[in-house]
Structure 1
Amino acid sequence: MLRELMIENFALIDRLSLEFGPGFNVLTGETGAGKSIIIDTVSLLLGGRSSWEQIRAGAESARIEGVFELEERPEIDNLLAGWGIPVGDDRLLVVSREIKMSGRSRCRMNGQNVTVLTLNEVGRLLMDIHGQHEHQSLFSPVFQRALLDRFGGEHLKQEAARVAELYTKWQGVKKELADLEMDEAEEKRRVELYSFQLQEIEAARLQPGEEEELSRERNLLAGAERLYTYVSEAYHRFYGRDDGGAILDHLGTSVEALSRAAEIDPQLRPWVETANRVACEVEEVARELRAYRDQITFDPERLNQVEERLDEIAKLKRKYGPGIPEILDYAAKLRKELASLSDRTARQQELTQQLATLEAELGRAVQALSALRRETADRLETAVMEQLHEVNMGKTVFKVALNRIPDPRDGLEINGEKVAVGKDGIDQVEFMVAPNPGEGLRPLARIASGGELSRLMLVLKVILAEADQIPAMVFDEIDTGIGGRTAQAVAEKLLLLGCTHQVICVTHLPQIASLAHHHYYIEKTTHDERTTIKVRALDQEERVEELARMLGGAEVTTTTREHAREMLQLAATLRSDRNRT
């Protein structure tokens, strides 16, 4: 159950701390007071979508924190342990969420950072929220099928997962087989194209690194004349000038003069050695330059050959890849594709056999799932009819129709007929209702009033909460479109649900509010031109005033107060009776 809720800088809430109790909790207040904002914060704690627009004006971030008291449930314990989230002996789970102006949010469980997906996974086991706009989702056949499957429990879930897995494999084989079963002209065109491309690449006899080597050789051949001139000039300046201006001649004269100086001053001998070494190194450079100059080749014909080869490589690059390695990779892919096309007949036979096997398996699986859904539908019908009696809809007939859609072209053959199939099987689920005796069954979307939808949704939520073992439930204005005896029946159903679950309900009806174990009042106030929302738990006398307001509207009279006290006394008696049973 949700024990505490702390909110900071969210929507119209500045700072708010709220403690919920076990059993049946109600939130009431004037229209527009912000009751649903509290539900929105709970939704965020359970992994709902966040937005920077939810941050209170003038604040940089909003923060919501909830303290949940966990029941002893292996499912949730294993889930938290798998994510490394610690749970102490007190069985408390502290969930927090911070929303920033950037739109990003930070989520934590017992101090450990988690993702929104993790919040959602854990949240679905902690609470079930019925929002104001969920009525319309009950019209959707997809939503109705999901409700039916949830009621079916783990066995049905496993069968549905097996159908989804087989369907995915079946679709994959069908697609691959369709790709192979192209017309002969298309196959011939592809073979011719791939063969031409592969022949063009193989004829070029490309080698890794060849382009780089050819580029270097082209640069040398194209610059051979200038290279010879520069190297010759350097050599002559070092060694080969006849006018006595060669560097080596000057170095020799300098070494000789320095040697004579060293005979006078021995301190100059290291300089003599250095000068000798320099002279030797210069002489070595000169000899190497002469050897390099003599091997420089002037070969215009080879240059043309290199240019032509580089042009050939450039054309292949424009067609098949940015470089030789990519061109060679493309050639390997062409060989593989041609081999695959050559083996098409054998692969077609293999896939046809696989498809037949998968179709048989999928056919058996969807029929097993359909039979299990029919059994589950019968149980759901019985459970709903029993619950409808308790919310003043005892004459209503509720049925779950399971239909199949014919699909002669792409369907799956079931008992000699091809029917549409998807990852959820072959069943089209539709809830059918006859609200009054003598009326035929019609789809829910075409017959139910707002009040009937509210009660039916409440009944379904109660049934599914028991099936899923969800410990807490939230109802945001479940009382839409109801009043009088019906409102009393719904209130008693919520009270009964509160005997085994924690229930948090936003309501406008005094019948519902009077039966709550805990009553909270929400009000909107303005101070220093800033609007904020406050929530406080009501004591007995304050509950009388609030129920009187709900009964009488803007004017609270002695009569409405007496009526409110009477409602609370009757509610206390009813709660006592429920506790004894």
Structure 2
Amino acid sequence: MLTELSIRDFAIIDQISITFKEGLTVLTGETGAGKSIIIDAIQLLSGGRGSVEFVRHGTKKAEIEGLFIVERDHPIYRTGEAFGVDIQDDGMVVLNRTITNQGKSICRVNGKLVTLGIMKEFGQALIDIHSQHETQSLMDPDRHIELLDVFAGEGIRPTLEEYQQVFDKYRTLRKRYKDLSQNEQEMAQRLDLLEFQLRELQEAEMEPKEDEELAEERKKLLNYEKIYQGIHDAYYSLYGEQRGLDWLSHAMTSLESTADVDENIAKISEELANSYYLIEEMTFQLSSQMAELEFDPERLNQMESRLNELNRLKKKYGGTVDDMLQYASKIEEEIDEIKNKDSHLSKMESDIYELGQDAVLEAKAIHDIRMEAASRLGEYIHEELRDLYLEKASFAVDIRMKEGKEQDPMFEGKPVQLMPNGTDIVKFLITTNPGEPLKELHKVASGGEMSRIMLALKRIFSRHQGVTSVIFDEVDTGVSGRVAQAIAEKIYGISEGSQVLCISHLPQVAAMADTHIRIEKRVDNDRTHTAASELTHEEQADEISRMITGAELTETTVEHAKELLVMADKHKRNK
């Protein structure tokens, strides 16, 4: 959940910090007070497009920071691993967005600088914003297959993963087949290039790890004097009259004469003798090393020349000798494919056919799971719509396999197109008027109906999507009466599974709030400021009363507001 939001020098907000709690938080206030500006700020944390217009006049930059707390199994941990962002076991995720008055956007996740695209990945895993005027993912036909799979849950995941493994092999092999079956002129040019590259690599006669071994040997030759001096000094510190080994020998002899008298001295004498012979052996090794050391300028020149040659090849074929050897092996296989193109194409055709049929079988299994999930989803949606007084509405999930081309795999006598998530095209269809045909969601015209349909869908999908904070920006526009009460109850229902932040002008929604925050606009020293304050129970009743009348408080409206609060408490207890 979003626990803390800090905004500085953003639009008409100079500085504001809001602490959010679990459950349903409702933000109310006069039009223009800055409620939607707060949502705009949160949207920037989810990767929304920034603008220099957001920077408060007369300041250098606008800054928004949000602190989120997530559960240990939240998908955000996988996102963090994918992009190298450390998320501790305490589940704290801090998103920070700065926009300068020069139009530059700076994004950070847990203090690490990231691109806007990466911030969007984090933000969309944490925040789900819904607005009356935006095209929402729930209304986007391209997202419906993803939403249906989310609803299907664990039942579809293993089958989808198996399909994707087969599909990846199928797609890769199709690309290789296409590349190999290009026109003769292109293939001949490709063959000439590969043969030249292979010849150049083979003529270099490289050995595995050769570059590493040469670099090590070169390092020793370049440091010959330093190495020789170190060995020389060490050897003559140990060997010779009145030197290390000589004194150790004296010490060992002195102890040996008393070893048979004292058991402790005997142990020390034995350990000293062992040390003496060990150091003596090291002295012999140092002597051998010193004798073998030889500075060969010609060898150094040869190594420099060889390393230069390898570095030249690395710029063309790989970062290391092993990479270049691997590349040589790869192009050798490709040369063989081109020279024996017909036999390779025939083998590929057979493999593509078999992989295609395997993929179609997996896709059919996915299709069957989706059909079953679509039936259940339809039942749930109809139940939600009835609660929102759309009992005559009809909802359906249209699933059909996408027709393919002649060369695509066949299913039941027809070619089907294989796609990353199967062969299905999924669309959510609805009609709110009996006798009218089902239409795609985004073609439903009425704003009030759209609000209710969206809430019904969100009520279902919020349980499956894992988003920590759901934000509604005036999605209840255009409704009143019993529908307004039903919407309030639905929004509260969503807050039972996710934190919900809601901007609303409906008294019924405000009464349902677990936390009610009033946004006010003030003018100090000829500058406009926005302030936020959490309301007490009595203040909440007064605010709801103002929302009812839009003018001064009266005893009647205050009583009505208190009655709404009592009804809301009763609904929560019943839930």
- Structure 2 length normalisation: TM-score? 0.68
Task: Determine helix, strand or coil for the equivalent of 1:531.
Answer: strand
Q: How far, CA to CA, are the matches of 2:340 and 2:5 in structure 1?
A: 66
Matched, 1:361 2:355: no
Task: Determine helix, strand or coil for the equivalent of 1:421.
Answer: coil
Q: How far, CA to CA, are the matches of 1:506 and 1:167 in structure 2?
A: 44
Contact 2:74 2:466 in 1 (8 A): no
* Distance verdict in 2 for CA 1:529–1:407, change over 3 Å: same
Shifted more, 381-390 versus 137-146: the winner is: 137-146
1:219: which partner in 2? none
* Distance verdict in 2 for CA 1:86–1:137, change over 3 Å: closer
* Distance verdict in 2 for CA 1:189–1:155, change over 3 Å: closer
Q: How far, CA to CA, are the matches of 2:106 and 2:454 in structure 1?
A: 32
* Distance verdict in 2 for CA 1:141–1:70, change over 3 Å: closer
Q: How far, CA to CA, are the matches of 2:384 and 2:466 in structure 1?
A: 17
The CA deviation at 1:195 is: 7.5
Q: How far, CA to CA, are the matches of 1:508 and 1:409 in structure 2?
A: 56
Amino acid at match of 2:64: I
The CA deviation at 1:359 is: 0.4
Q: 2:397 aligns with which of 395, 400, 409?
A: 400
1:239: which partner in 2? none
* Distance verdict in 2 for CA 1:540–1:401, change over 3 Å: same
Q: How far, CA to CA, are the matches of 2:186 and 2:447 in structure 1?
A: 63
Structure 2: gaps spanning 5 or more residues: 205-311, 317-323
The CA deviation at 1:125 is: 4.6
Task: Determine helix, strand or coil for the equivalent of 1:395.
Answer: coil
Q: How far, CA to CA, are the matches of 1:578 and 1:472 in structure 2?
A: 20
Contact 1:475 1:506 in 2 (8 A): yes
2:167: which partner in 1? 167
Matched, 1:566 2:560: yes
Amino acid at match of 1:550: M
Task: Determine helix, strand or coil for the equivalent of 1:86.
Answer: coil
Task: Determine helix, strand or coil for the equivalent of 1:349.
Answer: helix
Amino acid at match of 1:488: Q
The CA deviation at 1:529 is: 3.9
Q: In terms of Rg, which structure is larger? A: 1
* Distance verdict in 2 for CA 1:63–1:418, change over 3 Å: same
2:6: which partner in 1? 6
Task: Determine helix, strand or coil for the equivalent of 2:21.
Answer: coil
Task: Determine helix, strand or coil for the equivalent of 2:365.
Answer: helix
Q: How far, CA to CA, are the matches of 2:185 and 2:470 in structure 1?
A: 64
Q: How far, CA to CA, are the matches of 1:375 and 1:475 in structure 2?
A: 31
Task: Determine helix, strand or coil for the equivalent of 1:429.
Answer: strand
Shifted more, 164-173 versus 461-470: the winner is: 164-173
Contact 1:8 1:15 in 2 (8 A): yes
Identity of aligned residues (%): 34
Q: How far, CA to CA, are the matches of 1:350 and 1:565 in structure 2?
A: 82
Task: Determine helix, strand or coil for the equivalent of 1:508.
Answer: coil
Q: How far, CA to CA, are the matches of 1:192 and 1:44 in structure 2?
A: 50
1:425: which partner in 2? 422
Q: How many residues align?
A: 452
The CA deviation at 1:112 is: 5.6
Q: How far, CA to CA, are the matches of 1:11 and 1:189 in structure 2?
A: 58
Amino acid at match of 1:456: I
Q: How far, CA to CA, are the matches of 2:192 and 2:40 in structure 1?
A: 64
**1:60-209 equivalence runs, <5 A:** 60-71=60-71, 73=73, 75=75, 83-88=85-90, 92-100=92-100, 101=102, 103-109=104-110, 119-135=119-135, 137-182=137-182, 186-187=183-184, 191=188
Q: How far, CA to CA, are the matches of 2:86 and 2:139 in structure 1?
A: 39
1:302: which partner in 2? none
Shifted more, 400-409 versus 73-82: the winner is: 73-82
1:518: which partner in 2? 515
Q: How far, CA to CA, are the matches of 2:184 and 2:435 in structure 1?
A: 64
1:263: which partner in 2? none
Matched, 1:44 2:44: yes
Q: How far, CA to CA, are the matches of 2:374 and 2:509 in structure 1?
A: 30
- Structure 1 length normalisation: TM-score? 0.68
* Distance verdict in 2 for CA 1:187–1:440, change over 3 Å: closer
The CA deviation at 1:40 is: 2.1
Matched, 1:489 2:486: yes
Q: How far, CA to CA, are the matches of 1:424 and 1:124 in structure 2?
A: 21
Cα distance per residue 1:444-474 (max 9 Å; x no partner)? 3444522122111112222111123444321
2:383: which partner in 1? 386
Shifted more, 520-529 versus 79-88: the winner is: 79-88
* Distance verdict in 2 for CA 1:158–1:52, change over 3 Å: farther
The CA deviation at 1:55 is: 2.2
* Distance verdict in 2 for CA 1:32–1:160, change over 3 Å: farther
Task: Determine helix, strand or coil for the equivalent of 1:99.
Answer: strand
Cα distance per residue 1:71-91 (max 9 Å; x no partner)? 454655676688433244xx6
* Distance verdict in 2 for CA 1:179–1:471, change over 3 Å: closer
Segments ≥4 residues shifted beyond 6 Å: 192-199, 332-338
Q: How far, CA to CA, are the matches of 1:127 and 1:64 in structure 2?
A: 15
Q: 1:454 aligns with which of 434, 438, 451?
A: 451
Q: How far, CA to CA, are the matches of 2:138 and 2:113 in structure 1?
A: 35
Matched, 1:412 2:409: yes
Q: How far, CA to CA, are the matches of 1:65 and 1:418 in structure 2?
A: 51
Contact 1:495 1:575 in 2 (8 A): no
Contact 1:23 1:501 in 2 (8 A): yes
1:579: which partner in 2? 573
The CA deviation at 1:398 is: 1.2
* Distance verdict in 2 for CA 1:414–1:421, change over 3 Å: same
1:230: which partner in 2? none
Amino acid at match of 1:549: R
Q: 1:546 aligns with which of 527, 543, 548?
A: 543
The CA deviation at 1:127 is: 3.5
